[in-house]
């Protein structure tokens, strides 16, 4: 499709320039082509208007030379259009899973700790299981961190529960079931469980705050 212009000049030079440019811009869609031609026409009008007198052939030569040949202008316009057409569409932002929110780490770990310390009762067991499920389903932790929290925290807290039951039984007149040994096991288990809980909690909160999916 060839597009001509209504730009007129007493020399006819600018009109031919724009007609040649319109033919070379034929691959563009009509709107793109019209935009390029309007821009070039505005440049021509502006430079001619800056002259104090009627433009001479030399003036027209100088103005057209400063713009470049129709082929050069068309090549630049077509290259720009090709680059814009080939630019990939920006990917849609990743949807954040519901279980990656900031409330997940404290709720999951509180449920695991509370459930582990009161495991003999039915409701705490349900709470413990719910906390472990929440920990394992959430994308805030890596598989290794999930296993550490789901196994390490209860494993460190359950000895405290057992020791408490032993103390109660011994106080009620039952046999001494190695209280001295429990005096060593319980603090060590508590420290290990506390360290694991703190580590998993900090990792979860950091990733929830910045939403950084673990590898």
CA distance linking residue 21 with residue 15, whole number of Å: 10
Residue-level pLDDT at 78: 84
Burial class (CB in 10 A: 0-12, 13-18, 19+), 12: exposed
Residue-level pLDDT at 1: 43
Task: Encode the chain (215 residues) as per-residue pLDDT tens digits.
Answer: 444 434 444 457 888 888 888 888 888 888 888 888 888 888 888 888 888 778 787 888 888 888 888 888 888 888 888 777 665 555 555 677 778 888 888 898 888 888 877 766 667 778 888 889 988 998 889 889 889 888 888 887 777 767 666 665 565 555 555 555 556 677 777 788 888 989 998 988 888 887 655 65
pTM, full prediction: 0.48
Provide the H-helix boundaries in 50-152: 57-67, 70-86, 104-117, 122-137, 143-147
CA distance linking residue 7 with residue 50, whole number of Å: 18
Contacts of 156 by beta carbon, 8 Å cutoff, 6+ apart? 189, 190, 192, 193, 194, 196
CA distance linking residue 161 with residue 104, whole number of Å: 25
Contacts of 177 by beta carbon, 8 Å cutoff, 6+ apart? 166, 169, 170
DSSP, res 51: S
């Amino acid at each position: 499709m060839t597009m001509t212009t209504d730009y007129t000049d007493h020399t006819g030079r600018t009109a031919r320039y724009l007609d040649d440019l319109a033919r070379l811009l034929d691959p563009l869609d009509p709107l793109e082509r019209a935009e390029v031609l309007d821009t070039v026409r505005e440049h021509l009008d502006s430079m001619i208007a800056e002259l104090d007198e009627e433009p001479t052939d030399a003036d027209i030569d100088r103005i057209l030379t400063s713009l470049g040949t129709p082929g050069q202008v068309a090549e630049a316009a077509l290259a720009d259009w090709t680059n814009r057409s080939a630019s990939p569409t920006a990917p849609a932002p990743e949807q954040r899973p519901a279980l990656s929110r900031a409330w997940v780490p404290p709720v999951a770990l509180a449920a695991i700790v509370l459930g582990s310390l009161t495991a003999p009762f039915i409701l705490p067991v349900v709470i413990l299981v719910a906390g472990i499920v929440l920990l394992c389903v959430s994308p805030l932790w890596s598989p290794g961190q999930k296993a550490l929290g789901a196994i390490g925290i209860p494993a460190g807290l359950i000895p405290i529960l057992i020791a408490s039951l032993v103390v109660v039984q011994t106080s009620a007149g039952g046999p001494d079931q190695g209280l001295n040994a429990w005096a060593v096991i319980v603090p060590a288990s508590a420290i290990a469980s506390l360290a694991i809980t703190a580590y998993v909690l900090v990792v979860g909160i950091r990733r929830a705050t910045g939403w950084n999916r673990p590898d």
